[in-house]
Amino acid sequence: MKTFREWSLIAGLVASAAGFVGSADAAVEVTKKPWGKTPDGTAVDLYTLKNAKGAEATITNYGGIVVTLLMPDRTGKLGDIVLGYDNLQGYIDKTPYFGALIGRYGNRIGGAQFSIDGKTYTLAKNDGPNSLHGGVKGFDKVVWNARPLESAEGAALELTYLSKDGEEGFPGNLQVTAVYTLTNNNELKLTFAAVTDKPTVVNLTHHSYFNLRGQGDGDILGHEVMIASSKTTPVDKTLITTGELASVEGTPFDFRKPTTIGARINDPDTVLQYGPGYDHNWVIDKQPGELGLHASVYEPTSGRLMLVISDEPGLQFYAGNFLDGTIKGKGGVAYQHRTGFCMEPQHYPDSPNKPQFPSVVLRPGETYKNTIIYRFSTR
């Protein structure tokens, strides 16, 4: 099995992640079509991005959701590798954040409250006693303004949204920009930026459920995962971080060498039962703000390899523990237990209440920035 250093060399990650430039003559394309309306009558659109190699992504401006992502297997055959629905109504009726843009705060905030400069802000409790993924109506459930962009890297779509002061309990008018690029290097590249007029907290991330064999094609337990991390942030029974950093050495959380998801997921001697399964944050072994490799995932049947690259300090790895067959997705397929996984680069959970963690506070005059790249190839 390859080590982290070997994976890094394979990735060639620093130079190419910093800005792959495709041919000026690349046959890239962005098309748009109506995709229904929200319950309040707001029109929603679906955008299709195609790159010069034939890969394709469809993205809706409802929640910034990646609806489909078509990438080739080792034979060159395209397959959709993200879980989701065939229509807008599915995402409106019931979704565990399939493919969504998550904010204002990705992951959990303990006790559904936090303080800035001595003032306490109260949020919605939508995950037991905690606030999860921005509240009852987070960024995954709003309609964003959208426009195609010209990019040397590939087909691109810009989404913008003004989250008003007090929305879901968060302070400050937050202006957010998200750019999705399907690069000609078969990457889905997400770049986020935000500014505010009051001190607030921000932690944006992406929540696609991947299955590299193809959505709806069995479980993900045979996928081989490497995570560039020697520490995790342990959690309590409500999945709130304790504030400690714990070594992965000798635990089922040690993915420093590629290991199948299913190899140790049911280990009873760990806090995995709080998932039950992997639903934890790994502390990435690099400096915060430095663009680097977070993880690799390889699926041996299809030959697809996904590298996860970001400048965020943490990675939430979720193994689809709560999928239970009640959701029928694309083509009417029932999504069973552990048939998709998420790799969510972000700041650590409950950082607003953990001053020892990297700060998530954004103040007027500052700009929040975050880059997430999912790079695909085969072997």
Catalytic residues: 207, 344
Contacts of 77 (CB under 8 A, 6+ apart): none
Provide the token pair at 138: 């987070």
CB-side neighbour CA atoms (13 Å) of 369: 7
Q: How far is CA 9 from the centre of its chain?
A: 24
Are 149 and 156 in contact by the 8 Å Cβ rule? The answer is: yes
The first and second tokens of residue 368, run together, are: 């929040």
Nearest to 120 by CA among 238, 236, 199: 199
Q: Which residue type does 80 have?
A: D
- Is residue 224 within 8 A of residue 260, CB to CB? The reply is yes
Query: Whole-angstrom Cα distance, residue 20 to residue 13?
Result: 10
Q: How many CA atoms lie within 13 A of 310 on its CB side?
A: 32
